[in-house]
Structure 1
């Protein structure tokens, strides 16, 4: 899964290297700008978003690429880190955020052409400790201990998704119930670990707005909806107990999707759910919506599905070649952009 960092393999390799060589050659990816590569748009890309009419994709080793001609050509952005990136959100044409491994949070103020670091895993733990030590209440000690555990792990835990409502307010989510909120465009972050109904600290894979609410999805059938009045994410029961990798939807329906082709749809804020027959057995790894009725789902095997009725029914989109997809972004009703292990490509719909 996305959260694995293969620490045991890396540790074994490190032990096999002379200490002097490690000291001389080590460069922290959080302090190393992404290298320029002519193949950046053909490597692993995990997240897509639109910055106005510009397409922005984020991926491995801090690579961020963008296109101003509907995917015909791509340029590489200047990025302050070389950590692997997994998700991106642009609430406005100019302001965007990207997140990924090593607890990194990046911000762009120029439609994705350049990116600066706002937060990383070395600072997340101490930020949470300071916040929870200032809180009162019976559970304060519990959350201080949890924050100290994150702090002791350093930059080990990744952020796995990001969503902004506007250029000020947004959420970032990640491994082991890691969730933070900002109300000032990322200048400061407030931990929300104590504001989720997730007692097992399950991984949080997705956060998005749909059907007038904000939803978070995660492991073991976890779905939560934001109770804005209470300032909490409340758990919602769904019929499926496997992992949900993401959430999408229209103004009237929310769709959660994940393992083994599972997708479930609700039109009443999660009070009831109806299974969507997708016709696929592999994991659904990406979703996107455009307009009032069109919804797209993509799978880890490269299948692309399209709905014209708000996600109630889906049919396969014929493709010249099916490649594993980690992200999908609609370009109106004429085409979609797909990103994955072999880079980014545009799929016409007509």
Structure 2
């Protein structure tokens, strides 16, 4: 798919499916209806994203596993999750309210800092959401040719079933948020996920490219996608506008602060902008491996990580990146700074605290 994280999950899941054999087909239960299994090994299972919920850390990953830690990643407990779908991303705009998204269009919500979760939406509903929303617009504006096309897109999603993954989630607060995914799939909520509005007509992505990540840098909201796609939300027009970028490969993430934003992706590519995305300058990483995770620490330094476990730290106010020595590096899919200042990483070997040696 368009996301490194999704590719990682597909590779890991393939071996699991083959080992189970076809005999279990007669006992099939949809992952959207099967709660995640509690396991003492969950902390060592593949995890794809992590976030702060106040002082608590929350990590999400394969087979619906969600873990939380109250001691900066030293120990983890497994959350109660109503699905066993693979989870790709997590966002906590407040210490208590959080959302996670993943395969089969699933959207989960927690109101207790990640200890328990409920399902708000899944891929079996998304197609119908699009059809209903854009059919109403088509009826109101019969001369607008884009509405029938978007209705058709919704009908196709409904026919194909719940197999379209959501790749990222971002919430500004406990009410306003977005989820993004493959083939230009984007939904917006203004009531904490009780209702979701399709946003496909409000994004400059005519090719329907995958939307890999959504994140804020200062007051600006960005979406990074495949084939060099980068978008920024325009408050006046209430839509995501395409930005010019000097690279045509996939971007996997966005990280930034007021007055500065970095985008990163395939083959070690990182670009920096200090003018809201109008212009971009490449940062030399010295690497040819995918940059797959990033975080901004409390000192304003960027920490970037690769699928091979390499660590890059920003220098000179973000204008340069320094490769740091690592002991026993392993693939990194998500990174976050804990309340005590330590860095916690997640990847195909689960969660770990980054050694400072």
Name the TM-score, length of structure 2 as normaliser: 0.91
Shift of residue 277, structure 1, vs aligned partner: 1.1
Residue 50 of structure 1: SS of its match in structure 2?
strand
- Unpaired runs of at least 5, structure 2: none
1:82 corresponds to: 84
- How far apart in 2 are the matches of 1:338 and 1:22? 35
Report the equivalent of 1:67. Answer: 69
Query: Does structure 1 residue 282 correspond to structure 2 residue 285?
Result: no
Alignment pair present for 1:92 and 2:94: yes
2:319 corresponds in structure 1 to 312
RMSD: 1.9
The superposition leaves residues 299-342 of structure 1 with CA deviations (integer Å, 9 ceiling, x where unpaired) of 00101111154432111233222100111112368421111000
User: In the alignment, which of 112, 121, 124 is matched to residue 122 of structure 1?
Assistant: 124
Aligned partners of 2:92 and 2:171 also within 8 Å: yes
Confirm whether residue 245 of structure 1 aligns to residue 252 of structure 2.
yes
Contact 2:72 2:340 in 1 (8 A): no
Contact 1:212 1:252 in 2 (8 A): no
- Does the CA-based 8 Å contact 1:3-1:157 persist in structure 2? no
8 Å contact from structure 1 (residues 250, 310) kept in 2: no
Which residue does the alignment assign to 1:108? 110
- Secondary structure class of the residue paired with 1:79: coil
Report deviation, 1:146: 1.2
Match of 1:164 among 160, 164, 171: 171
Q: CA deviation at 1:290?
A: 2.5
Indicate conservation of the 8 Å contact 2:85/2:102, yes or no.
yes
Q: Which runs of 5 or more residues in structure 1 are unaligned?
A: none
Match of 1:140 in 2: 147
- Cα distance in 2 for residues equivalent to 1:103 and 1:110: 23
Q: Which residue is equivalent to 1:22?
A: 25
CA distance in 2, matches of 1:31, 1:66: 23
- The 2-side partners of 1:256 and 1:22 are apart by 42
Match of 2:298 in 1: 291
1:3 to 1:59, Cα distance in 2 relative to 1, 3 A: closer
Between 1:289-298 and 1:248-257, the stretch displaced more is: 289-298
State the alpha-carbon separation in 1 of the partners of residues 205 and 112 from structure 2. Answer: 36
1:233 corresponds in structure 2 to 240
Deviations 1:73-109 (A, max 9, x none): 1100000100000100000000000000011000000
Report if the CA contact (8 A) 2:72-2:342 is conserved: no
Number of the residue aligned with 1:342: 349
What CA distance in whole angstroms lies between the structure 1 residues aligned with 2:150 and 2:75? 48
In structure 1, C-alpha distance between the alignment counterparts of 2:161 and 2:191, rounded to whole Å: 25
**C-alpha contact 2:229 2:242 (8 A) present in aligned 1:** yes
Does the aligned pair in 1 maintain the 2:6–2:88 contact within 8 Å? no
Moved over 3 A (4+): 1-6
